[in-house]
Structure 1
Amino acid sequence: MSKGEETKTKIIQQAAELFNQYGYAGSSISDIMRVTGLQKGGIYNHFKNKDELALQAFDFAINCFRQHFAKVLKNHKNSVDRLLGIIEIVSSFVENPPVKGGCPLLNTAVESDDAHPLLRERAQQAMDYWRGLICQIINKGKERGEIKSEVDAEEVATILIVTLEGSIMMSKLYDDVIYMQRAVNHLNNYVISHLTVNR
């Protein structure tokens, strides 16, 4: 990796943390200069504008998010164990987020709702990946006889994601992990009791 590529990567990583903590709208170019230690020209040498940096920073943050899921898939072969692993890994984001500042998907989805259509599109793509991953796990589990045949994969994906993201939001809002703990207990029971074929 060249020195220029190293600098660009460093800017993206530091901007990802800044944006994830303070939002894209709430972070100025001066803030980016402060966290990177670079002058405006040094930043714009690598990015056309703040929007381009924001998109690349979001992609970096979501890649960190996906790496956690990749570990779950690698460490678990059974579909039920994979679902429980996803619940466990996302629950850890309350205290150990993939990028400083919380869940980048939740933060970006809320902030970009109407204000930033390109970021909103990126957040939708990231959510599509997560939903698709859960559906894939469930459908494979149905084929293998690990998950009940009548289970609706899209419905389960919605329930898991909405419950986990809502619990992250409440835990952050009240600075109390009890909300996530309750959600995890409920989701684990839901997966084992309602989805799993009796072993």
Structure 2
Amino acid sequence: MSKAEKTREFIIEKTAPVFNKKGFAGTSLSDITRVTGLTKGAIYGNFKNKDDIALAVFDYNVQQVFMIASSPGDNGKSAVDRLVAIANQYKDQFAGIARNGGCPILNAAVEADDELPVLKEAVKKRIASWKDRFVQIILQGIRGGEIKKHVDPDRYAVIFIALFEGGMMLSKTMGDPVYFHQSLDKMIEIVYTELKII
């Protein structure tokens, strides 16, 4: 990794929690220089503008959260086990996600909805990718004979994302992880009662 690449990575890592907590509009150049200890020139020597920083930071924040749901043994698990493991891993990691500002997809989606088309497009791509991940796991389960054939993978993928994001929003707003835990417990219940072949 070159010096420029290391500096860029350093800026992203240091500013990631700031953007996730304060949002795009709320994060100033002085916030960025303060947390990185770099000058304005050094920041803009590595990024074209604030939009460029925001997109890089958004991708980084999403990757950090998605890594929580991945485990080395994923490929050896059944589809049902993978879905349940994802819910449980997110529940276990809620405190860390909340401490860093909550779900970056939810945060960016709310802020970018009407005023930041570039960021909105990045959010839409990440939601589509997340949905596809759930769809592929469900299809694996249908092919493997552990998930009912009539199950609509797209529908359940959307339900799972809605449970995750809705639970996160309620828990962050109310300052109580119980909402997030209850939402993901519902996801697990759906997996066992509506998807899994008994």
In which range does the TM-score fall when normalised by the shorter chain?
over 0.9
Residues 164 and 180 in structure 2, CA contact (< 8 A), matched pair in contact too: yes
Matched residue of 1:101: which SS? coil
Residue 190 of structure 1 pairs with residue 190 of structure 2 = yes
Deviations 1:94-133 (A, max 9, x none): 3121982111111111111111111100011110111000
Residues 23 and 111 in structure 1, CA contact (< 8 A), matched pair in contact too: yes
| Percent of paired sites with the same residue | 40
Query: After TM superposition, which residue ranges in structure 1, 4 or more long, deviate above 4 angstroms?
Result: none
Equivalence map 1:17-96=2 (5 Å): 17-71=17-71, 74=74, 77-96=77-96
Equivalence map 1:103-142=2 (5 Å): 103-142=103-142
Deviations 1:126-160 (A, max 9, x none): 10111000001101100110101111111111111
Q: Which residue of 2 aligns with 1:15?
A: 15
Equivalence map 1:134-173=2 (5 Å): 134-173=134-173
What displacement does 1:72 show?
6.9
Whole-angstrom distance in 2 between the partners of 1:22 and 1:7 = 22
Label 1:116 to 1:66 Cα distance change in 2 as closer, same or farther (>3 A): same
Deviations 1:7-62 (A, max 9, x none): 11010111221100100010111111111111100101101111111111111112
Using the TM superposition, name which of 129-138 and 6-15 deviates more.
6-15
Whole-angstrom distance in 2 between the partners of 1:137 and 1:171 = 27
Structure 1: tracts of 5 or more residues without a match: none
Alignment RMSD, CA only?
1.7
Label 1:110 to 1:157 Cα distance change in 2 as closer, same or farther (>3 A): same
Whole-angstrom distance in 2 between the partners of 1:35 and 1:21 = 13
Structure 2: tracts of 5 or more residues without a match: none
Read off the aligned partner of 1:173 and give its amino acid letter: T
Q: Which residue of 1 aligns with 2:6?
A: 6
Read off the aligned partner of 2:77 and give its amino acid letter: K
Residues 139 and 153 in structure 1, CA contact (< 8 A), matched pair in contact too: yes
